[in-house]
Amino acid sequence: MIAVQFLIILIVPFLFIGLINRTKAVWAGRRGAPLLQPFYDFFKLLRKGEVISKTTTFIFRLSPSLQLAAVFLAALILPLPGGDSLLHFPADFVLFAYALGLARFFMIIAALDTGSSFEGMGASREVTFATIVEPAFFILLGSLVLISGQNSFESIFASIDSSDGFSILVKILCTVSLFIMLLVEGSRVPVDDPNTHLELTMIHEVMALDYSGPDLAFIQYASALKMVLIGTLLANIIIPYSLGAALSLTLYLALLAVIAITIGFIESWMARLRMSHVPQFIFLMTALSLAAFVVVLFFMYGGF
């Protein structure tokens, strides 16, 4: 199981991005790049040298490796559906969120390190949106802890297996909420458009504007892995725990594919929201998480 998890961590993020791009291409009437194209790009970048801005300090060089390490740690904490997590302890999801927070801190200061106003803009937006996502994510986690009575990822997922009306409602609310989080954290449409890295409206891509070579490869891999992690979280909620390893794994991969295709479709169908409307969209996640919590309270206390 450990080997499988490592394999998934190493391969699936690239396929995930490849599948999104393929979907967009097919919808636009093109054939599109091969599914493994992000993989080839990754290795090409790893083989290259770098150009580093003279304004920057060690922060700029430290940041990509640290981001990747933090996301990797988060990946080790999160279990695969139906499986055990490699590292688990009470309230491990707090470390999950905070490790990603550390990655975010360094991503932002590395962007500010270049002294570029573009990157400052991206950094500012990234952290502003995070201020809405983070409390919503903790509300969601709180609901899961309350309904399961457990306090680590692994045991929570193992004990929200029941399929009565309340649980299903909570699961639906959590799923939609997490999907919004996936769009925000992955910097996808309608929050951000990964294709437009030189317009004034972008967030994530512009923060990596000055990176090249292995550092850029690290950043791209880390952000793809982060999306897959949120997808995995979502899968853990949807896929019942007791299906058996093989079936869970198949369902999990299928679900990730569905998520990637959905993202591809969303990006084909709609435009990015105006920057001033993005917070409202993210507040939807807060509202859904709160709704999930209220449903759990109803479930536990049988109405007021």
- The footprint of other proteins on residues 87-106 (CB under 8 A) is 87, 89-92, 94-95, 97-99, 101-102, 104-105
* 116 contributes a contact to other proteins by CB under 8 A: yes
Q: How far apart are the first and last CA of the chain?
A: 44
Positions in 229-248 near other proteins (CB under 8 A) = none
Token digits of residue 252: 């999990």
91: left (phi over 0), alpha (psi -120 to 50) or beta: left
Among 246, 269, 301, 303, binds other proteins (CB under 8 A): 301
| Residue 110, token pair as written in the block | 């590395």
Interaction of residue 69 with other proteins, rule CB under 8 A = yes
Phi, psi of 123 (to 5 degrees): -60, -45
- Of the candidate spans 28-36, 142-150, 162-170, 226-234, the one that interacts with other proteins by CB under 8 A turns out to be 142-150
Q: Which positions from 49 to 68 touch other proteins by CB under 8 A, shown as an x/- string?
A: xxxxxxxxx-x-xx-xxx-x
Nearer to other proteins, 121 or 234 (CB): 121
Please identify, using beta-carbon distances, which residue of 125 and 171 lies nearer to other proteins.
Answer: 125
Residue 303: exposure state from Cβ atoms within 10 A (0-12, 13-18, ≥19): exposed
Of 125-133, 179-187, 225-233, 262-270, which segment contacts other proteins by CB under 8 A?
Answer: 125-133
Looking at the chain, how many residues does it have? Answer: 304
Residue range at the interface with other proteins (CB under 8 A); choices 173-181, 188-196, 206-214, 239-247: 206-214
Does 192 sit near other proteins (CB under 8 A)? no
> In the set 78, 218, 219, 233, which binds other proteins (CB under 8 A)?
218
Q: What's the min distance (Å) between Cβ of 173 and other proteins?
A: 15
Best CA proximity match to 254, nearest among 19, 76, 28: 19
How far is the C-alpha of 129 from the C-alpha of 279, rounded, in Å?
7
d(CA 5, CA 198): 36
Applying CB under 8 A, the site for other proteins has a residue count of: 84
Q: Look at the block and give the residue holding tokens 């933090």.
A: 70
Residue 185 lies near other proteins (rule: CB under 8 A): no
Select from 57, 39, 161, 144 the least CA-distant residue to 96: 144
Residue 130 binding other proteins, by CB under 8 A: yes
Here the tokens at position 283 are 């507040």
- The amino acid occupying position 299 is F
- Closest separation in Å from C-beta 2 to other proteins: 14
